[in-house]
Each structure stands twice: as C-alpha cells, then as structure tokens.
Chain A
C-alpha cells in the first residue's frame, strides 16, 4: 500500500511537469491547429536559462522560475512570428514540418553554442524528505506540485475571466467570427504562444530541480510524452491536458516501480496507439457537430 502511495506521489510530481507542457500543446493546437513540435525545446531553453541565472546571477527559486517563464514566452512568441505566421495560410503539413525544423534548430543550436554535455542543475533549494506514514515526500516534489497547480489555476482564470482569454477561446472555435467582433487574430495567437511557452519555461526549471540534470536534447522525450498527454486528454481541451499529463506521469512511474523501467517509454507510446484506436477524441475531447 505504501509503495502504491509512494508511486502515486512520484507519478504526480512527474505528471505535473507533463501537464504544464501538455497545456502548451493543446492551447496552440486549439488556436492554429498546429502540433508545435518545438514546444519541448522551449522547456529545454527554460531549464538552461534557470541553470544560468541560478549559477551566474544567484537567482533564488522564484526569480529563476518567473524569469524563465518570461524567456519561454519570448521564445514562443518569436518562433510563432518568424516560423509559423508566414505559413498561416499554407497547408497544415507545411507548418508541421517547419515545427520539426525549429525543434532541430533549437536542439542543435544549443548543442553547438554551449556543447551537448549534460550539466547538473544547481540546487537552489536544499532537498529533504518528509516521512508521512512510510511514504517519502520531498520538499521538491511538494514545490513542483504546488507550483504546477498554482500555474494551472492561474491559466484557467486567465482563459475564463480575462478579455484576452475569452478572445483565445473565440479564435479557437471560430476565427472569422472572432475577427468580426473586433478581435485581433495575430495578437491573440501571440498571446496563446506566450502563455503556453511560459508554462514550458516553468516546467524546465522544475524538471531541473527534480532530476538535477539538463542537456540540449532533454526536451525531446518529455515533449513527445506531453504531446501524448494532450492527445489522451483530448487535444484542444485545457482540463484534458492537465489530466492527461498526470495520468501519463503516474503510468510511467508505475511501470518503473514494477521493474519494467526499460519499457516505461514504450508503454506511453502504446497508450497513444490505444487512444487513437479506442478513443480518438481523447477523454475530454468532443466531436463537434455544427448546426446548419
């Protein structure tokens, strides 16, 4: 029983990071129907920024987190502006291939400029664990969970209550109608990239703290897993991405715990195949019917 709780705690910590990433995939997909394969690399940029400012400028955790969210947002908006915006009216496959290109550019660009070595992430917060009835919970895990939940609640508030959030939803469901009420599509898309990429930047710092190690290719696998989490939740659905992220995290940790570490990634891909076969719209996705 304790083992199960332990794995749930571990799974939720990892899952909350996937959830933060999955939110970016789902929001961007919702608004421009693009699977932004470069999203995982923004998370890598966030981690490297955190690494840099903690080591060089002695930022504390909060400052590192917030500043890498800003860096994430700037990167996301810049990528959209230069790489995706010119292709807005091109076939979707063109933008998709461009996204893969941007991803390679960031990965190899970082490797080339700063070497592809794995670095150990500075521990801004000293790790210690609490024993709760035999289940070990570290302060870092609590920090990850709390930070992710705060960010997700904040995101939800932005989407539901603010004007820009409403504009995002309007553009997602009907871009022409949104323009006809006066919404600026370009600003709204930039805003969406900024939000999603800020979450990825935050996730980068959190994973650095959790796993202690970062490298220029660190975004690839988590990026794909977060994408699967978004598909599992129903791509385009914000609560779906959060739930999907937690589920994938827990699933992966369980497979690791029962001694199938070698298969923990494979199992996530099996999930993808299974959803596509059984529940193509995902848990929260709906098949939208239009009334004529």
Chain B
C-alpha cells in the first residue's frame, strides 16, 4: 500500500533520516521503533507532506506522493495523528472532530462519521462541548485519534499515541488501535513503548540514528536479544 524507498530527509545540513526503506501492506499494523532522535517523527511528517524529502520515493497506492502537500495527502487517504496530540485549543471537542472532516463536503456523511466516532469513543461524547484544551492528556490523545479518523483514512499514521499516559489508558489506546485496524484501516505506528507496539504489530522496523537497523515480524523482534537489550529494558 505504501512503499518508502531510500528516503533521506534533512533539516538544513542535519541529515535526520538516511536512506530509509520500508513498506506497509494493506490491512497491516506496522511499527517503527527506536530511541529518541532516531528520526521516527521526521519520517512520518515526510509521509504526511509536512516535510519535503531530500531524496527517495514515497509510493502510495501506485502513485509517487513525495511532492504532494499535506492537504492533498489527507484527501488521498492518509491521516497523521501528530506527536503531542496537537488538538485545537479554544475549540470544543465537537468542533475539533468536525475539523477532522474538513475535506468532506457531504454534511450527512460528516454526521454519520461523528456518530460512529462517538460510539467508539464514548468519553468524547460526554465532553462534546468542552474546550479541547481542558481535556486530560489521555482524553486529548483520544480526541487526536478520533479527529484523524473523521477523515475516514485508508492509512493512519500514529506518532507515540501512548506518550504520557497511565497503564490503563495505554491498554485502552492499544485496544482501539487494534479495533481500528480490524475495521479495515491500515496502521503505521511509532512507539517508545516497544513491547506493547511489537505485540500488536504484524511487522516492525527498528531505527537508530536515521537508519533502519533491523526488521521482522512483531514476534521475531520481541524475541530478539538485541532488541530486548536496547528497547525492552533487558
């Protein structure tokens, strides 16, 4: 579905991502794991069109999208849930969700998506008119995911959805990710919580200082000694 080939991304002269290649098939959950500064967020932002690659190709459903801007990529069916949530403060939960459907013209469709979201995230329904900035961190994360889902993406990019959440909330978030996936959305997941991420992933890539170091199925990597040492706390 998505093929990233030889991708390099620079910030000025800093080379943050170096010749990274990976692919995601339709229906999969694929994880990118790696320590802080490995280049994970940079890769996601490049796929979603916020950053321009220096080199390499990003092919999505047969077309090269590396020159497409972010709004166009959203229209093509890729939605990103950014690191740190980035909900719209000063707007209510409902308005935030409606912004997620910005490119959908049909009002009835927006309404249907909204109903579906409220079914999946009942917490958000209870807080429908609350200013999004006053939600708890976990609720904001749910809102950020729900907002991305409002666009009905074919591929969702999740950047550290469990960051800063309590264990119960983390479990809930991972449950939701699996459910989204079962209902047909392909998932690219970035996580510090490597154990959890690998346990729900079909495949995963291990990144370090801007390069892919290892790849395999979620199970294989969980069992891998090196991965255990570096990312699973021994």
- Interface residues, chain A, CB within 8 Å of chain B? 163, 166-167, 169-170, 173-174, 176-184, 288, 291-292
Q: A174-B86, A174-B88, A176-B86 are in contact. Are A181 and B140 (CB under 8 A)?
A: no
Q: Which of A166, A180, A288 contacts B82 (CB 8 A)?
A: A180
Kindly list chain B residues whose C-beta atoms are within 8 Å of the C-beta of A163: 102
Q: A173-B89, A176-B82 are in contact. Are A183 and B102 (CB under 8 A)?
A: yes
Query: Which residue, A169, A173, A288, has most C-beta atoms of chain B within 10 A?
Result: A173
Kindly list chain B residues whose C-beta atoms are within 8 Å of the C-beta of A173: 88-91
A183 to B90, CA, bound (A): 18
Q: Which of B50, B69, B74, B84 contacts A181 (CB 8 A)?
A: B74
Contact A288 B100 (CB under 8 A): no
Instruction: Using CB atoms, name the residue of chain B closest to A184.
Output: B71
Leading 7 A-B pairs by shortest Cβ distance: A177-B86, A182-B74, A179-B70, A182-B103, A182-B71, A182-B102, A181-B102
Q: Is B214 an interface residue (CB 8 A)?
A: no
Q: Which of A170, A288, A291, A292 contacts B88 (CB 8 A)?
A: A170
- What are the interface flags for B46-84 relative to A under an 8 Å C-beta threshold, 1 for contact and 0 otherwise? 001110000000000000000001110011000110101
Query: Which residue, A170, A179, A180, A291, has most C-beta atoms of chain B within 10 A?
Result: A180
Kindly list chain B residues whose C-beta atoms are within 8 Å of the C-beta of A169: 88, 90-91
Kindly list chain B residues whose C-beta atoms are within 8 Å of the C-beta of A180: 48, 50, 70, 74, 79-80, 82, 86, 148
Q: Is B87 an interface residue (CB 8 A)?
A: yes
Query: Which residue, A174, A179, A182, A291, has most C-beta atoms of chain B within 10 A?
Result: A182
CB distance from A5 to the nearest CB of B (A): 37
A-B contact pairs, 9 of them (CB 8 A): A166-B91, A166-B98, A170-B99, A179-B69, A180-B70, A181-B100, A182-B71, A182-B151, A183-B71
Chain B residues touching A, range: 20 to 34
A183 to B75, CA, bound (A): 10
A180 to B88, CA, bound (A): 12
Contact A179 B50 (CB under 8 A): yes
Instruction: Using CB atoms, name the residue of chain A closest to B103.
Output: A182
Q: Is B27 an interface residue (CB 8 A)?
A: no
Contact B99 A179 (CB under 8 A): no
Q: Is B164 an interface residue (CB 8 A)?
A: yes
A180 to B49, CA, bound (A): 9
- Interface residues, chain B, CB within 8 Å of chain A? 48-50, 69-71, 74-75, 79-80, 82, 84, 86-91, 95, 98-100, 102-103, 133, 137, 140, 147-148, 151, 164
Kindly list chain A residues whose C-beta atoms are within 8 Å of the C-beta of B148: 180-181
Instruction: Using CB atoms, name the residue of chain B closest to A187.
Output: B71
Kindly list chain B residues whose C-beta atoms are within 8 Å of the C-beta of A174: 86, 88-89
Kindly list chain A residues whose C-beta atoms are within 8 Å of the C-beta of B86: 174, 176-177, 180
Contact A179 B89 (CB under 8 A): no
A183 to B69, CA, bound (A): 10
Contact A179 B102 (CB under 8 A): no
Instruction: Using CB atoms, name the residue of chain A closest to B78.
Output: A180
Kindly list chain A residues whose C-beta atoms are within 8 Å of the C-beta of B69: 179, 184
Contact B82 A179 (CB under 8 A): no
CB distance from A30 to the nearest CB of B (A): 11
A167 to B101, CA, bound (A): 12
Q: A169-B91, A181-B102 are in contact. Are A292 and B50 (CB under 8 A)?
A: no
Query: Which residue, A163, A167, A178, A291, has most C-beta atoms of chain B within 10 A?
Result: A291
Contact A176 B50 (CB under 8 A): yes
A166 to B96, CA, bound (A): 10
Instruction: Using CB atoms, name the residue of chain A closest to B100.
Output: A181
Please give 12 more A-B residue pairs, beta carbons under 8 A apart, in addition to A180-B148, A181-B102: A169-B90, A170-B88, A170-B91, A173-B88, A179-B69, A180-B74, A181-B151, A182-B70, A182-B103, A183-B102, A292-B84, A292-B164
